Amino acid sequence: MNIGNKIAEIKQNIPAQVKLVAVSKTKPNEDILDAYNSGHKIFGENKVQDLVKKQEELPKDIEWHFIGHPQSNKVKFIAPFIHLIHGVDSLKLLKVINKEAQKNNRVVKCLLQFHIAEESTKFGLLIDEAKTILESEEFVTLNNVAIAGVMGMATNTDNINQIKKEFSTLKNIFNLLKNEYFSNSEIFTEISMGMSHDFKIAVEEGSTLIRVGSKIFGARNY
């Protein structure tokens, strides 16, 4: 199956309102163009340098998502064009994004990343840390970032019940934040969860945005 067919197959298996971010990290422009020419416009990368190069070389109507944690000193390179930054987990990073967005006269959308997995290696906030950020005096002054929702990664396991539980936790966090801080926000709508091996479960648990790489482009060789 070619790349376009793989994307079509995934889209057939998710509800129409769930968006697919095709994670093209480590993959060459030709692969991205295959997907693009089949009609797909949303791509995700996790290295600033690679993303900037691809953005320069590829069609300008691609919607680029940053799916990791940009280093503070590199945010300036993606601020002019990035559509959504998925992996924000500190006030410090939000402040940097705000500053660089302001320089570009933009409001950059961000997702707060939460720690929902069992592994201690996965990044992310705990709910109390998020509350501290959202209730801080500084947060209110950040007019060039918009919190568009939450993001999380489940434990890498075959235990479907555990994955389900972790995604359900993220959905609950979304609902809680929505009620407490974003009830009037039209932007706070996204729950970014689900990758190649677990996106079906994620969609069942309420994902609005899945991030799928290897199932579209094949295994990555780093």
Shortest distance, position 179 Cβ to ligand PLP, whole Å: 26
Q: Give Cβ neighbours of residue 191 (< 8 Å, ≥ 6 apart).
A: 149, 150, 151, 170, 171, 174, 206, 207, 208, 209
Using CB under 6 A, list all residues that contact ligand PLP.
23, 25, 46, 67-68, 195-196, 211-215
Shortest distance, position 210 Cβ to ligand PLP, whole Å: 9
Cβ nearer to ligand PLP, comparing 89 with 142: 89
Which helix or strand (DSSP H or E) is residue 170 part of?
Answer: helix 160-181
Cβ nearer to ligand PLP, comparing 6 with 142: 6
Report yes or no: 154 and 167 within 8 Å, Cβ to Cβ: yes
Shortest distance, position 136 Cβ to ligand PLP, whole Å: 26
Report yes or no: 57 and 79 within 8 Å, Cβ to Cβ: no
Shortest distance, position 61 Cβ to ligand PLP, whole Å: 23
Cβ nearer to ligand PLP, comparing 67 with 85: 67
What is the number of the residue whose Cβ is closest to ligand PLP? Answer: 213
As beta bridge partners, residue 45 has 66
